[in-house]
Structure 1
Amino acid sequence: MRPHKRPIAESRLEALFNTESLSALLNHNDDALRQSDLSAGYFVAEQSFGNLVPQIRPWREWLSNRGFSFELTYKGESMANVGGGLSKGIDYVHDLRVSMLFDLGKLAGLNGWYLHGIIMNREGRQVGWDHVGERNILLTEVWSIHGPAAARLADLYLEKSFFHSRININIGRIALTHTYGTSVLLCTFMTQCSAPMAIREPAGWSVYPKTSWGGTVRFRPTRDLTLRTGIYKIGPKVQDNTGWAWGSETTTGIQTPVELTWEPFFGPRKLPGHYKFGFGHDTSPYPDLIGDVPVADRATVRVYKEKPRDTFYIEADQMVYRRHGEHQMAGGYLLAGFIHNTPSISNFADEFYFGASLLGLFPHRPFDRFGVMYSYYQMSPRLTYGQSLRQAAGLSPGAYVTGPQTHSAVLEAYYGIPVMPGLVMTPEFEYVMRPNETSVIPNAMLVGLKAIANL
């Protein structure tokens, strides 16, 4: 059965060829992904299923039948540094968004065309900046990086499937990390949503509320493979505070991402896995991160020319047990990933992470989810070298930099509690090792609470 269309969800794809790749060696007679709705509940925006105000459901259905669907979501995050770092203290951030879907077939006679839109408000302060001394890794998912704005336009794009749902396209203003290098499992972790930090930090990978003009084409070569690729205009993330000032954005180059996902099923319980292999080439010219070389070293130290940036990533998650349902979140997962950027021009040269997201660990709490993840960040060797040169010359290594930055790591754990339909409360814990990527600031311990509500 074809799943219902819902805001910010891509439509289901049929395979170009009625066969499987490596999955045929695992379950020769099993075609679980196509015969049932196992894909539902995996690539979704939030995990607070249901609505806090079910009384308006008839009105929502009336609108949906006439071509307009919407979701109103609140996400609030309070995190407190209770030990180490720069100081003890607490910060709060929130994301209030309206996700909209316009069925242009019903509204304008353009059958099969959909218009997606997201308008959001983000406010608050980043605890890593204020109390931990960490300015490279965001320690909360939501961050008002572009300053105050009452309403920001995020995604605004058209979607259409062709050839009996075998090819899907979207075109418009899109956040790349909503489309590439992400999953709902990663977005249950504060430090990994909407994608790992080493992917979403470079300017070429736009992240909410910043979006990019461009488009993606998506298709399944075989039943267990999904290939997506596209082309996007790239500009500095600090520009376009609200998402509405389209004509004032500077274009520095284009990003050409490509991602192949293998979705096998293992064993009689049909345990799904998602294995991603991705690459992105950003043609923008980026300077050598060595920065300003002290006068005494300029005769012997070479500064590289500006060059484009490449990003490679491998991400995997595998369900290890199934519980309480058939959709792809109904069970326990193991996760891991590795990201590599062009080292001389990328703050994060490498990142790797591994963790687990486990459902229903305790009796009588079947839908609670526990997650734990360790992530390691390796800084650019050119960045470290330049900071070392300046420090040795008696100069400042850089703004908010306490010494040559080399590496850091974060251990995160959460426990998600569905309080009622439409509301999830999630206590959070983070342990930040080597804040500021040096050994100067003490390791920091943070505790907090995240709330997600669908109205």
Structure 2
Amino acid sequence: MALWSGAYTHAGYAAPVSLEKSVAPVTDSIVSPASKARPNPTAAIRPLNTGQLDAGSLGPDPSAIKRPSNTPIPPSGVPILPSPGYATMSVPSYAPAGEEQGAAHTLELDALTNWEGPSGLLPPRLDALRRMDMNDPYYVPTAGTGHLVPFLNKPRAWMHDRGFTFSFTYKGEAMGVATGGLKKGVSYVHELTLQGIFDLERMARLKGWSVHALVMERAGKALQSGRLGENYIAMQEVYSLSGNVAAHLVDLYAEKRTLHNKLDVIFGRMSLTHVFATSPLLCSFMVTCSAPVALKQNPGFSVYPKATWGARVRLRPTRDTALQVGAYSVSALTDNPSGWSWGAENTTGLSLPVEFTWQPFLTRNRLPGHYVIGYAHDTTRYADKVASSLPAKVAATIPGRRSAPSDMFWLEADQMVYRLGGRNMMAGGYLMAGYVHVTPRVVNLSDQAYGGFSFVGLIPGRLTDRFGALYSWYHVSRRRRESQLIAQDAGLPLGAGVHGVQDNSHVIESYYAIDAAPGLLIQPSFQYMIHPGETHHIKDAAIIGLKLIANL
């Protein structure tokens, strides 16, 4: 059987020497979900010595890997990055690996060992990693395929060959409260994002080195506080932390690929949620981009687009696992709204995250899954939330009140359940779920749970459109609630913007993302919030909106 260590092997679990090669024809024709195409009868079938067929020996169903005609993704499923068609937070590492370093992967790291991890415990017919590694990467198409200005493609290619790639994207969100909340009305926000990557291996022959930079402009007025009475959960992705800033510096960090493409190190100015506790699928929803809300409230979890000094090391112990650890400086979420102040005078502590991912590929269609467990410790000592609603004299009389550091724990899981439209990791439909817990003593929201789906190809002939729905539950920390109960019993106000003793709230979000034209995505959205403000004093709210993303 396949083990976590290299102490024992089995002939049926032969280690791969390269990535999977195509075993079925790939065409550019559009295939309807109702297609009756059958698996390629000529695909090689290599039985294991157990007498069972393994999923990796069977070629994918041809109807599942045929690509739409407008896709920019090559038949291999490995795109050229960066591209504005991917969520900003999920753009993978770009430091050149390729043939110069003898690497198997173009974008992903190679594994430290040739072993399988937990996937080796799966039945052979379910495990597609039994004999070979899979292609990368993991991303979500959050924008229309292609570019609005196609005549720039040649200059882009010229710059790419010389070591520089860039993307420029507009994202606008208009959301309106249709029923419930505090008052009806519409809110508009937008962002302009310029991202560039400098390949120092091509520019200066610095092997494995690259530099990443990202600057954005955000403007508008947020919906949630004024129209919903909600202070913890942002209903729009764009307007958070850096609203109304002409040029907010998000990223400026260096990356080094080393150990023959087996170790990746990044350091500099960056957001922690570029790589920890984030999911490209989550970021297709407004409320949960770029990480679950219960994590985004923590100063120790520097959330996109807030940048801080930090470093992260990532590796793949086995072909189906990944491990990353990091260290990031901590300051208040409202500190340095422009991103250009690099001093450490406002630093309050250090955030130390660690995250482990199991990534199986299931069945003959190589259905990827991502099962993540993470933990972070923030050394900053935060005030006890039991005093948050009380005057200082009253708070001083509460027994057991003390400051404390913050500990964050998260579970995130997604699994593709069908493949349609190509070999890449987002050509198919996913189920997803997760849970977050944070030290109740020091935060407003201590728990969050969510579950949902993200499907493609629901309308025949529209393989690049995506329909998603997500339910999230949020729970106010017991220390925050205790503070409000004490204030209420004493006849004291609960604080600005608080409409009653808080307990929990629920948000349901759905969208249909339309790949309308090259470089243009139109995404109608619907949200329903139960218990806005985490109280029963505000009517449940229905919110209707539209997101538009355009790529230069």
Query: Is the TM value for this pair above 0.5?
Result: yes
Structure 1 segment 303-452 matched on structure 2, within 5 A:
303-452=400-549
- d(CA) in 2 for partners of 1:151 and 1:110? 30
Question: Contact 2:229/2:533 (CA < 8 Å) preserved in 1?
Answer: yes
Aligned identity (percent) is 45
- d(CA) in 2 for partners of 1:163 and 1:411? 45
In terms of mean alpha carbon deviation, does 203-212 or 102-111 score higher?
102-111
- The correspondence for 2:250, drawn from 144, 154, 166, is 154
Q: Does residue 6 in structure 1 map to residue 81 in structure 2?
A: yes
- The correspondence for 2:157, drawn from 61, 67, 70, is 61
Partner of 1:221: 317
- d(CA) in 1 for partners of 2:340 and 2:359? 37
Spell out, residue by residue over 1:352-371, the C-alpha distance to the aligned partner (whole angstroms, 9 max, x if none). 00001011112232221111
- d(CA) in 2 for partners of 1:270 and 1:184? 19
* 1:248–1:257 Cα change, 3 Å: closer
Larger radius of gyration: 2
* 1:273–1:295 Cα change, 3 Å: closer
The amino acid across from 1:275 in the alignment is Y
* 1:393–1:33 Cα change, 3 Å: farther
Question: Contact 1:123/1:143 (CA < 8 Å) preserved in 2?
Answer: yes
Q: TM-score, normalised by structure 1?
A: 0.95
Unaligned runs of 5+ in 1: none
Question: Contact 1:122/1:144 (CA < 8 Å) preserved in 2?
Answer: no
Question: Contact 1:378/1:408 (CA < 8 Å) preserved in 2?
Answer: yes
- Other structure's SS at 2:217 match: strand
Partner of 2:550: 453
Spell out, residue by residue over 1:222-267, the C-alpha distance to the aligned partner (whole angstroms, 9 max, x if none). 0000001110111111111211111265100000001101001122
- Other structure's SS at 1:190 match: coil
- d(CA) in 1 for partners of 2:339 and 2:203? 25
Spell out, residue by residue over 1:95-119, the C-alpha distance to the aligned partner (whole angstroms, 9 max, x if none). 1100100011222331210000100
- d(CA) in 2 for partners of 1:45 and 1:296? 53
- CA-CA distance at 1:133 after TM superposition: 1.1
- CA-CA distance at 1:5 after TM superposition: 5.7
Structure 1 segment 182-201 matched on structure 2, within 5 A:
182-201=278-297
- Other structure's SS at 1:387 match: helix
- Other structure's SS at 2:128 match: coil
Partner of 1:81: 177
Q: TM-score, normalised by structure 2?
A: 0.79
Unaligned runs of 5+ in 2: 1-18, 20-75, 83-90, 94-106
- d(CA) in 1 for partners of 2:170 and 2:375? 32
- Other structure's SS at 2:401 match: coil
- Other structure's SS at 1:194 match: coil
Spell out, residue by residue over 1:257-282, the C-alpha distance to the aligned partner (whole angstroms, 9 max, x if none). 01101001122222111000000000
Partner of 1:122: 218
Spell out, residue by residue over 1:405-454, the C-alpha distance to the aligned partner (whole angstroms, 9 max, x if none). 11101011100100012111100000010000000010000000001111
Equivalent residues, number: 453
Q: Does residue 212 in structure 1 map to residue 319 in structure 2?
A: no
Partner of 1:133: 229
* 1:323–1:295 Cα change, 3 Å: closer
The amino acid across from 1:9 in the alignment is P
Structure 1 segment 247-266 matched on structure 2, within 5 A:
247=343, 250-266=346-362
Q: CA RMSD in A?
A: 1.9
- CA-CA distance at 1:343 after TM superposition: 0.8
Spell out, residue by residue over 1:37-96, the C-alpha distance to the aligned partner (whole angstroms, 9 max, x if none). 3x33x2358443321111111001111111111000111110000100000000011111
The amino acid across from 1:205 in the alignment is F
